[in-house]
Each structure stands twice: as structure tokens, then as C-alpha cells.
Chain A
């Protein structure tokens, strides 16, 4: 089974600064999808960004961007100009090309310091 590892249980960043959250995964597949989900204290998980493994270009969504290194099986999330509303638990997730089962990491709790 695929495994997703988030080695940083907690991170903090000053407001307006940039922070990078790490994620590595293990798979023998060549075609898959990677996601970052955000879970604010209210608990509703929301999608932050998605990357398709066959696309070499890193995905970007406003202040959120990823650094996808397929050979290294690394998928980090960069948050630029951090805002107080970015404080949340962030989960990295993997999904095979086929099937709908998502594999999640254990999460990184991000604190934004005013």
C-alpha cells in the first residue's frame, strides 16, 4: 500500500512570511495524483492544491504552490505571505490514477504568529 509521510508534526511562521511544509510518499506507480488539504480548527477539510504526477509543472493556487519532485517522491507545499487564516492542520494525500482511495499523511499543524 502507498504510504505518505509528513515529518513535521508542527510548524510556525510569522505573518507575511513564507513557510514550506514537507511531504514524501512511497509508491511503485507512475501515474497518480497528489493533494494538500487544510483542516482549520472548525474541522472542515478543504482542498488547497492538487498535482498530477504526469505534469512536470508545479501547481500553483494564489499564495500556495508546490515543489513536486517525482524522482525523489517529494511533494512540499509553500505558503507565501502567510496570513492568520492559514493556521490549520495540513494533510498531504495521495491517490492512484485508478480508484478513489486517498492515502493521507499524519498532518502538520501550522501556527501563524501575528
Chain B
């Protein structure tokens, strides 16, 4: 069973540009969550999508957005990049969207974004 796949693994952008990251969840998983990981801050929740609908959103500016397609694949977009957006962006999928003790997150390897 294939795991969570994130592309690209590494990318370098300059301030003001925008970036799109992609995540393919485990087959059968309908929930996709995105987290930003930075040293010292740990993992910060960005948003969660379930059945193409945003279910929950973290405390990030509107420059961060996402979407989910009918095949559960998800993309996140960051516009007008700032130096502080440099981070590892992790995608995680789960079978349901909470309300289940069995629900755990399975993570991808992440996309390392560097903003110059």
C-alpha cells in the first residue's frame, strides 16, 4: 500500500513568488491535513480537507490556501512568499475526519521550501 506522497521534495523560491505543493494521500484516506514545521516551533496546523471541503483551519494568514480534489489529492498554495515561510511542509492523511479513536495521521516525507 503506497504511503503519503508529497511533491516536490525540495524547492527554492524568492520573496514575492508563489508556490504550490502537492499531496497524494494513502488510497482510501479521505482526510488530508497540512502542517508547517520549523525549528523551535514544532508542527503548526495549517488546514484540513475532507471530501473536498475545508474542515478546519489554523492560525495562518490568507496567503496560505489549499484545496482537495475528488480523488482526495490535495494541494496547498502560498502566495507572496516571505522569508519566514521557509519551512518543511508536511502533509498527513487519515481515513476519517475525527470522531474516531482509530484515527491517526500518516505523514508524507514533506516538502522543504526555502525562500531567498
Which residues from chain A sit less than 8 Å from chain B, CB to CB?
Answer: 33, 35, 37, 42-47, 50, 52, 91, 95-107
Contact = CB atoms under 8 A, between A and B. Distances in A.
Interface of B: 31, 33, 35, 40-43, 45, 48, 50, 55-56, 58, 88, 90, 92, 94, 96-99, 101, 103-110
A99 B56 contact: yes
A59 to B, nearest CB: 12
A99 B88 contact: no
B43 A100 contact: no
A101 B48 CA distance: 8
Given A100-B94, A103-B45, A52 B109 contact: no
Contacts of B90: 45
Given A98-B99, A100-B56, A100-B98, A43 B88 contact: yes
